[in-house]
Amino acid sequence: MAVLKPFRGYRYSEEKFGKDRIGALFAPPYDVISERLQEKLRQDPLNIVHVTLGKTNGNYEKAARLFRSWIDRGEIIQEEKPAFYIYEQIYRLNPEDDVRVRTGFVGLVRLEEFEKKIIMPHEKTMPKYSLDRLELLKVTGGNLEQIFGIYNDASGEIERLLEKSKTEENLLIDFIDCQEIRHRIWSMTAAGDINTVRRVMNPRTLIIADGHHRYETSLMYRREIRKKLDDPLEEIPEDLVMMTLVNLKNPGLLVLPTHRLVHDLPVNTLEGFLDRCRTYCEVIPFSDQEAMENFLAGSPKRTFGVYIKPQNVWAALTLREVSVMDRLLGRENVNRYLDTSILHELILKKILGIDEDMQANNVDYLKGTKDVYAVAREDNHYQLVFVMKPTPIEDIEQAVAHAQRMPQKSSYFYPKVWTGLVMRLLEERAR
């Protein structure tokens, strides 16, 4: 059973900063901040990146002291009442698109080991990032960043309740970020509403959409603290973690692709690449980027595009016989026909000889909000650019149902849940 609890969140004081400045204090998740954006965010000395990216600002301890000083000066305040926090994002993916609205809520969730199948990951992670977040958690003693989770509630009962609670009286934060996404936060403190949310969520499985490293970090820290305390029977603060939860039926929930960019391969590795692909795939060459882009928009399953930079060749690859993936990954692997699985196991490993260790050094990832075609044309660093399609949400559910993880970065949930809007300390301070 998923156990949820309200909490007395910490947030930047609008009284201190005013509506005009407060939007400059928040940031995207640490792992999607480019160097250029980081430089812009750091211009404000109170932006949350000075803490969440503390390692690059000197050391973690310095970042923790800085955060505590903001609380001591009243620049970050704690709410008086325990609450769930309604989180709405209003956005357009492109200027010509219709407006989308995604609404979820922020609460504390009891940590569960993955084998219990109450809270489930959906893709693989890279351990070095979990260790970085563990160090930050230890020194700050708090959940400063969101873990983004999704749940399945066809009834829509929670979402109707969230909409009812979006009142002017409950509004805490309203700002537009640098990507023209509007973020709004309301508090939900009524005991009856809180109990309804907890009741509806109780029997549901939660899927980690974003924040696998942060969740794994919290599990590691909980184990460490419980061991020090001789595993007490009663609940401790480390048993809970802050999460933003969104119904996967929400029309504003969007999954974008993450493209793969290959670099620093020996030149002879690319010789005859498409001919080798023809052993397993239908290869369709194109005269230019536009032709490939148009084809991919309506292409069949198990298809992705590739740009071979040294040869200036555009093409699409479609797996011809799925049996090759049965042999490579086994029939018990429900992810074996995913585009990302085909790319990683068949194209990168088998055809190009890029094993998992090499992938860490020779493959970069480009999120779906970026212009992959511009990167392909303009960045001479990359030899191969694989243009991916979004992973269907149904495939994510299937992977979770079978407790199997997709390849890393198989999905890119958009928009990201921002950091600094609501935060939580493991040990509450006195009122």
Return all residues near 105 (Cβ < 8 A) that are at least 6 apart.
84, 85, 86, 87, 158, 162, 188, 197, 244, 245
Based on C-alpha coordinates, what's the Rg of the chain? 23
Enter the DSSP assignment of 254. Answer: E
Identity of residue 280: Y
- Whole-number pLDDT of residue 204: 95
Write out the DSSP string of 8-52. Answer: --EEE-HHHHHHHHHGGG-B--GGG--HHHHHHHTTSTT-THHHH
Select from 281, 255, 257, 263 the least CA-distant residue to 385: 263
Select from 197, 195, 207, 192 the least CA-distant residue to 162: 197
Q: What is the pTM of this model?
A: 0.92
- Decide: helix, strand or coil at residue 372: helix
Q: In this predicted model, what pLDDT tens digit does every residue of 315-370 receive, in sequence order?
A: 999 999 999 999 999 999 999 999 999 999 999 999 999 988 888 899 999 988 88
Tokens of 183: 């973020």
Average confidence (pLDDT) over 80-109:
96
**If you average pLDDT over every residue of the chain, what do you get?**
93
Is it the case that residue 127 has pLDDT exceeding 70?
A: no
Residue 90, Cβ neighbours under 10 Å: how many?
17
- Whole-number pLDDT of residue 431: 39
- Whole-number pLDDT of residue 124: 83
Select from 265, 260, 352 the least CA-distant residue to 304: 260
Percent over 90 (pLDDT), the chain? 83
Select from 223, 262, 244 the least CA-distant residue to 29: 244
- Whole-number pLDDT of residue 55: 63
Strand partners of residue 110: 240
Rounded Cα distance between 64 and 67, Å, is 5
Residue with tokens 């400045």: 21
Residue 160, Cβ neighbours under 10 Å: how many?
11
Select from 162, 184, 168, 240 the least CA-distant residue to 26: 184
Largest CA distance in the chain: 69
Query: What residue ranges in 144-290 does DSSP mark as E strands?
Result: 147-151, 171-176, 182-188, 206-210, 240-247, 254-256, 258-263, 281-286
- Whole-number pLDDT of residue 195: 97
Helix, strand, coil percent values for the chain (each to nearest 5)? 40, 25, 35
Q: Is 289 exposed, middle or buried (0-12, 13-18, 19+ CB in 10 A)?
A: middle
102, 89 contact by CB (below 8 A) = yes
Q: What is the dihedral angle through the alpha carbons of 217, 220, 225, 227, rounded to the nearest 10 degrees?
A: 180
Q: In this predicted model, what pLDDT tens digit does every residue of 412-423 receive, in sequence order?
A: 999 999 999 999
Average confidence (pLDDT) over 92-111:
95
Greater pLDDT, 135 or 342 = 342
| Long-range residue pairs from 310-314, CB within 8 A, at least 24 positions apart, any chain | 310/267, 310/270, 310/383, 311/270, 313/274, 313/285, 314/285, 314/286, 314/287, 314/288, 314/289
Residue with tokens 């609890």: 5
Tokens of 314: 């555009």
Tokens of 134: 């563990």
Rounded Cα distance between 152 and 207, Å, is 9
What band does 311 get if pLDDT is binned at 50, 70 and 90?
Answer: very high
Is it the case that residue 430 has pLDDT exceeding 50?
A: no
Rounded Cα distance between 102 and 252, Å, is 4
- Whole-number pLDDT of residue 427: 82
Residues in the chain: 431
